[in-house]
Structure 1
Amino acid sequence: MNYRIISKLLSVIVATLAVAFLICLGMGQVFDQSVREDGTLDEWLICSTIACVLTLVFVMLGRHSGKKLLRKEALTVIGVGWILASVVGALPYYLILEEASMADAIFETASGLTTTGASVFGNLESIPTSLLFWRCLSQWIGGLGVVVFFVALLSSLGAGAKILFSNESSGHSTDIESGRVQHGVLQIMYVYLGLSTICAVVYHLCGMDWFDALCHMFATVSTGGFGTYNSSVTAFNSPLIEWMVVLFMALGGTSFFVMLRMVRGDVRYVRSNTEFISYLVIMAAFSIVITLILLAEGTYGDFEEAFRLSTFQAVSLMTSTGFSTADFQMWPNAVHTLLLAAMIVGGCSGSTGGGTKVVRVVVALKMARRQIEHAFRTRVVRPLTMNGRVLDKDDQDNVMNYIVLLTIVCVVSVPIVSLFQHRLSFEGAFSAMLACLFNVGPGFNEVGPTQNYSYFSEAAKLFLSLLMIMGRLELYAVLVLFAPSLWKRFS
């Protein structure tokens, strides 16, 4: 294990947070004209100083690290990096808000950086503007991934950058046509920045002020779900804004590789992308079916309202954004089942969305169909294709192994959540686990769209924070940290 190169890369993550803290301090002074911002200057300077000192410590420890980055070091940097970022990023909450414990602060930071959107704070209007801005900005930073940002900036990593990118994101470095991974990641960042700019401008033109437009852009493009009001998007009382949020949530759940091809005008690639087409079809099916159920049950009498609210919630939960425009806990139980399915399916691979990912669901269904056919036609051999290419056995095994491992984590995590928060109903414990592990945010019953996680025990908050990070990094980068052989000094 090359601990020096790990320290070197961790210093970049902490330095990024130090810069972000200073930006939030400045934005608080620009946008806030009330007493809410009084008394936060010292706390922000303390947070920035601590982050800068930690950066220097990691830089000193990382001297003469060399350039060779093995897979084990890459996984360690990713796993430890996100945990470290959640702890350092918790400092503003802990120092500024008197009622916030360290567990509260870590939970809120992990929720932001992993774009989960679960919260322990119930009165957002009383939070200082600078801290509210950090709460939203953390999602945007985590959306594309702190690791992806510094992979793009550190050209000295060489081949190691490819390992970091493919493990931090849910896409694959082979999806970037360029031979230089840094150049390819920069292209993805340009798409992210472009989409963010367009989203903020559209929100402002639809009626939001610039602060709300920026904060909700951070939350939408990153599929994070943190807003600036307790009532979420309904605070704006604008169907137009709701439809624009639906559009940008759907784009946030789309693979960046697909969006990059869209920008290049490669319509043929987009039309032949199995995952993207399946993503749109599944999303539309959830929206339509939920609309029909709500109309049939008489929940809403107006078709436009029923369709708008159904589409909003289906897209919000499938992309793991977590915004809400209605209390879907009060909707029929059949709708709960569909929304739960949407949470499990999730967005596209290579996107900011959570969940199992559409590509894995489609591959698993194709494998199941092939096995059923093989039961009565044993001699038929059909290749399994995805996005126009044949998947080899390793690809298929990877999909099934991930789904099995994800299932095991879910089965083990539910009793742990129930143990730490023993008064939760089974539906509440299960949906809390699912909402955090799949980076969705809201769940059902005690953690429904009008509730939060403030009453959870300290242990439950820390465990759910770990689940958020595990889900964001798709399990492996966190689970390997518990393997003793990872830390031994051999290649």
Structure 2
Amino acid sequence: MIHYTAIGKVMGGLLMLLAVLMVPSILFSWYYDSRDLMPLAHSGLISGGFGALLFFSFKREDNLIRKREGYLIVALSWLFMSVFGMLPYLFSGTISYLPDAIFETVSGLTTTGATILEDIESMPVGVLTWRSMTQWIGGLGIIVLTVAIFPLLGIGGIELFVAESPGPTSDKLHPRIRETAKRLWFVYVGLTVLVMILYRIGGMDLFDAVNHGLTTMATGGFSTKNASMAHFDIPFIHYVAIIFMFLAGTNFTLIYLGLKGKFNRVWASDEFRAYFTTVLFFILVLTGPIYYFSGTSFEQAFRDSAFQIISLITTTGYVTADYTAYSDEMVIIFFMLLFAGASAGSTSGGIKFIRHLTFVKNSLLEFKRMVHPRAVVPLKINGERVTGKVITHIMNFLLIYLAIFVIGSMVMSFAGYDMLTSFGSVATSLGNVGPAVALVGPMDNFAFFSPFAKLFLCFLMLLGRLELFTILVLFSPYFWRAN
């Protein structure tokens, strides 16, 4: 049977943590004498109070968390965070329509970066800081954070970590899962602070530097400006964003190893080499056409090319130029990048390069198996043999991902939207990217969608962020059957 008391206790701990994470936005509101101070404070008190009620209602011996509880906790944690995370919008009146508040919150927590706001710069500073904070919370995963903290509360975490990170890799920095989570978060926090400092040096004020630092490392893409990063027409800021978006799309285990000076192990990663070479290839290929169509200097064409490509591949969603204004062929390329995703173990969404790499390698080896049917031709990633179970899991993932994209596009089309807008909105929501094509291009927003469409896209965002299976398993009858 499922231990619902353990689930309730964890939900309580998460909501108390959410209340603590609202403090920076409250401090910004107080510092800038913003009108949203009390709404933010009330949101924190309600989240913390309800969380404490749940947490202290259950005894410590109720903390049994197995695999099924882990999946439920992960799914419910994103739901609870979304419900309580939208309170600042509702209480401040900045987003008073419930479907819009849900959409903005889910888009933040899943680091999608799609927005319904039509005038971001008119929003109060506290709410904007909370909006950025939701992306930073979701960046490396709510549960990865709680795995590092919950042992202090007497709650184990390995099942949560497994459910939160269902990808095909299992790299560990430390044999204890809690230490792994802690070290990943130290890297995450350190890089976030560093990019904030560099943005400040580059010319952003404190408020903008903090907010863009939060959303850069989260590969989220929320900005405090209506024009996104195009507002800051400063090459230094753009290059800082390019470098840190790329880092945020890198497996954080490899970043940790790089900081320890183990660069040979970083380059030994097949996924990292594929990620690096793919990014470099598209930058070199598209710089020339962008230079031709935009009429800008070659340096800016290179910068725009690198920025847009890395932003889309890492699913960050920042923009410095309208890539839909180029040729149709280039728009198709940018649309294809919505399905890339960066590295497993990073803050990016999407399919991830490890899955693409496994699919391509296995497909090529299949030709060799056809020619030599009796030969044993194993698939190897990073020099290690990939088991049939992992290959099957990846193939199933890719097939289900494609099926959801097709079905989701049909749903959006039946809801009354044109084909390109339907394709774009579903692709960008499922991949947690942000901008797409047609009516949801880099210069547009999602405000025009109907309440049904917004809620449906929210479901796709959560589905993509938790890599399909963590959510879909809850719809399986096998999950709910007693042991």
TM superposition score category, shorter chain reference:
over 0.9
Return the TM-score normalized by structure 1. 0.94
Please tell me the residue identity of whatever aligns with 1:457: S
Match in the other structure for 2:470 = 477
Structure 1 position 65, deviation (Å): 4.5
Return the TM-score normalized by structure 2. 0.96
Structure 1 position 289, deviation (Å): 1.3
Distance 1:12 1:56 in 2: 7
Aligned partner of 2:441 among 440, 448, 456: 448
Indicate the SS of the match to 1:45: helix
1:165 and 1:173 in contact (8 A); partners too: no
Match in the other structure for 1:426 = 419
Match in the other structure for 1:388 = 383
Corresponding position: 1:306 with 2:301: yes
Corresponding position: 1:250 with 2:246: yes
Per-residue displacement from partner, 1:415-459 (whole Å, max 9, x unpaired)? 222233x0x221111110010110000110100011100111111
RMSD of aligned alpha carbons: 1.9
Match in the other structure for 2:322 = 327
Please tell me the residue identity of whatever aligns with 1:336: V
Structure 1 position 23, deviation (Å): 2.8
Structure 1 position 102, deviation (Å): 0.9
1:8 and 1:65 in contact (8 A); partners too: no
1:165-176 equivalences in 2 (<5 Å): 165-169=161-165, 174-176=170-172
Match in the other structure for 1:347 = 342
Structure 1 position 380, deviation (Å): 3.4
Match in the other structure for 1:206 = 202
Structure 1 position 302, deviation (Å): 2.6
1:215 and 1:228 in contact (8 A); partners too: yes
Distance 2:181 2:340 in 1: 26
Distance 1:217 1:160, change over 3 A: same
Aligned partner of 2:70 among 70, 74, 89: 74
Structure 1 position 484, deviation (Å): 4.3
Please tell me the residue identity of whatever aligns with 1:47: S
Distance 2:422 2:451 in 1: 15
Indicate the SS of the match to 1:262: helix
Distance 1:300 1:414 in 2: 35
Structure 1 position 166, deviation (Å): 2.6
Match in the other structure for 1:285 = 281
Corresponding position: 1:93 with 2:89: yes
Distance 1:467 1:247 in 2: 29
Match in the other structure for 2:404 = 409
Corresponding position: 1:439 with 2:435: no
Indicate the SS of the match to 2:335: helix
Aligned residues: 482
Distance 1:173 1:189, change over 3 A: farther
Which stretch shifts more, 60-69 or 476-485? 60-69
Distance 2:366 2:95 in 1: 55
Which stretch shifts more, 477-486 or 236-245? 477-486
Please tell me the residue identity of whatever aligns with 1:405: I
Corresponding position: 1:337 with 2:306: no
Match in the other structure for 1:264 = 260
Structure 1 position 485, deviation (Å): 4.4
Please tell me the residue identity of whatever aligns with 1:283: V
Aligned partner of 1:108 among 75, 100, 104: 104
Per-residue displacement from partner, 1:40-63 (whole Å, max 9, x unpaired)? 233223212321232033214433
Corresponding position: 1:117 with 2:113: yes
Structure 1 position 207, deviation (Å): 1.1
2:339 and 2:351 in contact (8 A); partners too: yes
Match in the other structure for 1:370 = 365
Please tell me the residue identity of whatever aligns with 1:104: D
Distance 1:24 1:41 in 2: 9
Q: Where in structure 1 do 4 or more consecutive aligned residues deviate above 6 Å? A: 156-159
Distance 1:61 1:410 in 2: 42
Please tell me the residue identity of whatever aligns with 1:265: G
Please tell me the residue identity of whatever aligns with 1:258: L
Match in the other structure for 1:9 = 10
Distance 1:329 1:82 in 2: 33
2:121 and 2:226 in contact (8 A); partners too: yes
Match in the other structure for 1:236 = 232
Distance 1:446 1:427 in 2: 8
Match in the other structure for 2:124 = 128
Per-residue displacement from partner, 1:128-149 (whole Å, max 9, x unpaired)? 1000000111111110111111
Match in the other structure for 1:466 = 459
Please tell me the residue identity of whatever aligns with 1:454: A
Per-residue displacement from partner, 1:329-350 (whole Å, max 9, x unpaired)? 1111111122122221111000
Please tell me the residue identity of whatever aligns with 1:203: Y
Q: Identity over aligned residues, as a percent?
A: 33
Please tell me the residue identity of whatever aligns with 1:196: T
Unmatched tracts of structure 1, length 5 or more: none
Indicate the SS of the match to 1:230: coil
Structure 1 position 293, deviation (Å): 2.6
Match in the other structure for 2:356 = 361
Corresponding position: 1:46 with 2:46: no
Distance 2:220 2:198 in 1: 18
Please tell me the residue identity of whatever aligns with 1:235: H
Distance 1:279 1:157, change over 3 A: farther
1:170 and 1:351 in contact (8 A); partners too: no
Indicate the SS of the match to 2:343: coil
Please tell me the residue identity of whatever aligns with 2:355: R
Which stretch shifts more, 213-222 or 51-60? 51-60
Please tell me the residue identity of whatever aligns with 2:10: L
Corresponding position: 1:140 with 2:136: yes
Structure 1 position 304, deviation (Å): 1.3
Distance 1:353 1:414 in 2: 22
Please tell me the residue identity of whatever aligns with 2:315: S
Match in the other structure for 2:24 = 23
Per-residue displacement from partner, 1:284-322 (whole Å, max 9, x unpaired)? 111111113334x54335321211111110000000000
Indicate the SS of the match to 1:344: coil
Please tell me the residue identity of whatever aligns with 1:356: I
Per-residue displacement from partner, 1:202-233 (whole Å, max 9, x unpaired)? 11111111111110001100000001000111
Match in the other structure for 2:79 = 83
